[in-house]
Structure 1
Amino acid sequence: MLKQIFLVYSFLSIAVLPSLAQKNKKSFPAEIGMVSYTYRNSFSKDVAKTLDTIKILGITDMEFSNLFGKKAEELRKLLDERNIKCSSFGVGYDDLVNKTEEVAANAKTLGASYVRVAWIPHKAPFTLEVAKKAVEDFNRAGKILKEKHGLTFCYHNHGYEFQPYEKGSFFDYIVQQTDPKYVSFEMDILWVFHPGQDPAQLLDKYGKRFKLMHLKDLRKGVKGDFSGQTPVENDVALGTGQLDLPAILKAAQKAGVEHYYIEDESPNITKQVPQSIAYLKNLQM
């Protein structure tokens, strides 16, 4: 009898358990978050109902880049009532520079650990002078946010920074010239790929400088450039576009990215967002 039990156990170990382990082995073990911009049109009409919709999708981690006409305290109350957290608060460049204390107060009220800026004002093409000014502003504001308020500043790339400069790009210059104690980064993977870069390679290059990530995919056949712009219809459900998401997410895990937010700017979010969530949940190594 014992021999039979042993043989059954051995069979399970050899044949069944490895297949189960492989089946349960995902390349995306992190929590799936959402950028408020994905639901910007709905939020502008009814914040509470939009949060309900997001919660039904199983999302409890948010990055807000707009208060949608409410005070930070009001938005925090709506979040708390639904057990949703705001881990990152996005603001405009001018507010970061000129209203640093107000930005910090709102971020802390929302419960965020990060403050993010997604655009450096400039006239195309992006220049070294603009990059130098951004480095100066990011270091100064990032130091205030970190030392005075315990918040981490992140800059979100948007494509134009990857124009060639010396042996690399302006993005390389910004990363290398900012103080890692005060300036981190949020990788928008579409806006790395669109100007011709490899998100996985960039994650390998700068590792822990990347704390946050925007997950999005670019429609097949679309050609990129350094403009930082593409029609919103070119945002497609994750896994249906051009980006190599398994490779990117593996590199992101290795780099230690802490929050992953789905961002879909298209008018098709009702269909595409659930599709993207399902893709991430079922993604295999």
Structure 2
Amino acid sequence: MKKTLVLLFLAFAWMITPMESQAQKAGDPMFKVPLGIASYTFRNQWKNGVPQTLDIIQQMGFVEFEGGAPQGVSPEQFRKMCEERGISIPSTGTGFEQLESDPQAVADRAKALGAKYVMCAWIPHKRGQFSKEDADRAIKAFNAGGKVLKENGITFKYHVHGYEFQPYEDGTLFDYLVKNTDSRYVSLQMDVMWTHFGGGDPAALLKKYGKRWVSLHLKDFRKGAPKDMTGLTGPENDVVLGQGELDFPAILREANKIGIKHMFIEDESEHELEALPKSIAYLKSLKY
């Protein structure tokens, strides 16, 4: 009898533990990571002065920055300017060709910034016609470059841009990319808007590829705007988070289950200074 009770208890515990470990208390915030910003958001501001732009970033409450040093400022200088404002640079970017030709230079620049991640946001291809040959070139460059970066203590991540969802075999060329890149050297960053724009389901893809994802770009897409496979659309289609087509509660639920530690708002509109406070308020308003 005692043995039977013990077995029943263990069976019951096995059934409830996974549910309890993933459960969130009602009212818990859904946005759980440090507030991050992608450099491209401030593309129209840097010309007004790097210190002045960083002051705006600090005043808005951002504590993580993804990007490189603006023109005219060295990586070391930029890192110091950020640190003086309580802003870290966990991640920076690289162009595809430089990763392909000189990954060590990419690693050296990342280390000068203090970054632990390097992302690549674009694979060269003919507009709207991303092909298996383009994917194969990227797989080779990502595996080789990612290995060099790892040897330097840096994680490489590919930033999904939407054109990778061209159909291929029983899935897409994105599935082909993930399958054929080495998980030891190649991680993933989801831009949730570009994923949606290209026909992908952000929450479902987060669930499908789990720990391969290490960060997110957060932006929203204007309701009813046309979508295609180019990975390109106008700034008028970038809207305040929560005002467009993206299902952010579903995205954040999956991201939290995976344990993603870095999320960067990226506003590509032409009124970013007005939009950002609204996007921040929306993220902070989301509760379980």
TM-score clears 0.5: yes
Task: Structure 1: give runs of 5+ residues left out of the alignment.
Answer: 1-20
Please give the per-residue CA displacement for 1:31-82, whole angstroms capped at 9, x wherever unaligned.
1200010001112331111110010011010001453331111111111211
In structure 2, what is the equivalent of residue 168 of structure 1? 171
Give the match for residue 232 of structure 1.
235
What letter matches 1:137 in structure 2?
A
Contact 2:165 2:229 in 1 (8 A): yes
How far is 1:106 from its partner? 1.2
Give the counterpart of 2:181 among 174, 178, 189: 178
Answer yes or no: is 1:100 the counterpart of 2:103.
yes
TM-score scaled to structure 1, two decimals?
Answer: 0.90
In structure 1, the partner of 2:123 is 120
Is the 1:47–1:68 contact (alpha carbons within 8 Å) kept by the matching residues of 2?
Answer: no
Tell whether the 8 Å contact from 1:191 to 1:228 is kept in structure 2 after alignment: yes
**Do 1:37 and 1:65's aligned partners in 2 also have CA atoms closer than 8 Å?**
no
Q: Find out whether 1:32 has 2:28 as its counterpart.
A: no
Conserved 8 A contact 2:69-2:75: no
Report the residue type matching 1:276 in the other structure: S
**Within 5 Å, which residues of 2 pair with 1:38-117?**
38-65=41-68, 67-117=70-120
Q: Is the 8 A contact 2:50 2:70 kept in 1?
A: no
Mapping 1:7-26, distance limit 5 Å? 24-26=27-29
Task: State, as a whole percentage, how many aligned pairs show the same letter.
Answer: 49
Matched, 1:275 2:287: no
Greater displacement, 65-74 / 251-260: 65-74
Once the two structures are superposed, the pairs formed by residues 148-227 of structure 1 within 5 Å of their partners are: 149-227=152-230
Residue 5 of structure 2 corresponds to none
State the SS of the aligned residue for 2:43: helix
Cα deviations by residue, 1:133-178 (Å, 9 ceiling, x for unpaired): 100000000000002x100000001111001001110100001100
SS of the residue corresponding to residue 44 of structure 1 reads helix
Distance in structure 1 (CA, Å) of the matches to 2:238 and 2:26? 29
Conserved in 1, the CA contact under 8 Å of 2:222 and 2:239?
yes
Following superposition, the deviation at residue 28 of structure 1 comes to 1.2
Matched, 1:136 2:143: no
Q: Which residue of structure 1 aligns with residue 12 of structure 2? A: none
5+ residue gaps, structure 2, are 1-23
Q: Return the alpha-carbon distance in structure 2 between the equivalents of residues 180 and 23 of structure 1.
A: 35
- Is residue 146 of structure 1 aligned with residue 150 of structure 2? yes
- Deviations along 1:245-265, one digit per CA (max 9) or x if unpaired, are 000110111122220000001
**For the Cα contact (< 8 Å) 1:192–1:198, is it kept in 2?**
yes
Asked if the contact 2:35–2:62 (Cα under 8 Å) also holds between the matched residues in 1, the reply is yes
- Is residue 241 of structure 1 aligned with residue 219 of structure 2? no
Describe the SS at the equivalent of 2:232.
Answer: coil
Instruction: List per-residue Cα deviations over 1:160-212 (Å, max 9, x = no partner).
Output: 10010011101000011000000001000001101221100000000000001
State the one-letter code of the partner of 1:85.
S
**TM-score, normalisation: structure 2:** 0.89
Count how many residue pairs are aligned between Structure 1 and Structure 2: 264
Taking the aligned partners of 2:34 and 2:79, their CA distance within structure 1 comes to 20
Segments of 4+ in structure 1 off by > 6 A? none
- Report the RMSD for the aligned CA atoms in angstroms: 1.3
